[in-house]
Amino acid sequence: MRTARRMAVRTVAVFCDADRHAMHVAMADEAYHIGPAPSQESYLRGEKILQVARAAGAQAVHPGYGFLSENVEFAEMCGQEGVIFVGPPASAIRDMGIKRRHLCGMRIVMQTEAFESQLESARREAMKSFGDDVMMVEKYVQRPRHVQLQVDHHNNYVYLFEPDCSVQRRHQKIIEEAPAPGLTWEVRRCLGEAAVGAGRAVGYVGVGTVEFILDESHNFYFMEMNTRLQVEPPVSEMITNTHLVQWQLKVATGVRLPLLQDDIKLSGHSFEARIYAEDPEGGFLPGAGPLQHLSTPEPDAHIRIETGSSGPGVESAT
């Protein structure tokens, strides 16, 4: 919404009961209530969101990076209603979502003789849990590093280098560092070209996040593509002097990307930290609740603070 305001674009917020006083509601030019707190009755109801779009006369819907951001059906609904979906075509979301749909009961096999039994075990578990026993066989990478590249496709195909997000807890990214340390420029170039190639293969348009696993020798393997803006765009923006949300909004109107790959210069180094809470009495599982106090440095040319408040607490800060 801050980006849209700078571009003189009016914004419309939707909110559930619990988010009536949230920051995005206060920032928007207009705000509409769409239901009770459970997301299945509010933010996941695409028809409600499109009803708001019609009522407000909205030309486009920006899906953010959660809920319906990678939902094929919602992207198609937007097209049917004549509303721009600020994201890739539904066909690209569908093609890149095939792998994710089959990530369920996983098995690690270290001996050839154990392969058949583990495969059948995984199939039985998948069929019982998901009604689908399709399996994918992939190389198991020991002591891996997890890197991702933000890519943008609209006439120009570009990548914004590679944050390393290997520091994780419970499979949630805690620290992102960009560019990934210790990589040669040749590996960096190959990662970028592979990411761009993945997007080109499915006719991708807009911003997307391609994720790879690196082994200790810097061989890399495709993990998945999130067909949306990454959750932590500042870590890429700070080292490339770009603004991805602005690019998204421009690309959605058919404007050509302003830069070619050779125009994107890597400058400096950035770290991003996700602040979150755990419940020590509950086995240190992720916890929820108000944040009573938060102290941050003053933002400047080298420090960027992102917060999202909900009532008296602060939900996130990076």
Q: Which of 88, 96, 75 is nearest to 248 (CA)?
A: 88
- CATH architecture of the domain with residue range 2-97: 3-Layer(aba) Sandwich (3.40)
Single-letter residue type at 69: S
Dist CA 205 CA 193 (whole Å): 16
What pLDDT, on the 0 to 100 scale, is given for residue 292? Answer: 81
Q: How far lies 116's CA from each of 82, 102, 112, 139, 280, in Å?
A: 50, 19, 8, 16, 40
**Out of 145, 188, 228, 274, which one is annotated catalytic?**
228
What pLDDT, on the 0 to 100 scale, is given for residue 84? Answer: 96
What pLDDT, on the 0 to 100 scale, is given for residue 99? Answer: 59
**Topology classification of domain 145-317:** D-amino Acid Aminotransferase; Chain A, domain 1 (3.30.470)
Instruction: DSSP letter for 220, please.
Output: E
What pLDDT, on the 0 to 100 scale, is given for residue 120? Answer: 95
What pLDDT, on the 0 to 100 scale, is given for residue 104? Answer: 61
What pLDDT, on the 0 to 100 scale, is given for residue 318? Answer: 34
The DSSP annotation for 252-309 comes to: HTTPPPS--GGG----S-EEEE----EEGGGTTEE----------PPPBTTB---EEE
In this structure, what token pair is assigned to residue 119?
A: 């495969």
Annotated catalytic residue 228:
yes
What pLDDT, on the 0 to 100 scale, is given for residue 310? Answer: 43
Print pLDDT tens along the chain (318 aa). Answer: 999 999 999 999 999 999 999 999 999 999 999 999 999 999 999 999 999 999 999 999 999 888 899 999 999 999 999 999 999 999 999 998 765 555 567 899 999 999 999 999 999 988 887 677 888 888 899 889 998 888 877 778 899 999 999 998 887 788 999 999 999 999 999 999 999 999 999 989 889 999 999 999 999 999 889 999 887 788 999 999 999 999 999 988 888 887 889 999 999 999 998 877 888 888 888 877 777 888 888 999 899 888 765 433 333 333
What pLDDT, on the 0 to 100 scale, is given for residue 311? Answer: 37
Domain residue ranges in the chain: 2-97, 102-130, 145-317
Nearest 5 degrees, angle CA 233-CA 69-CA 18? Answer: 95
Dist CA 241 CA 232 (whole Å): 15
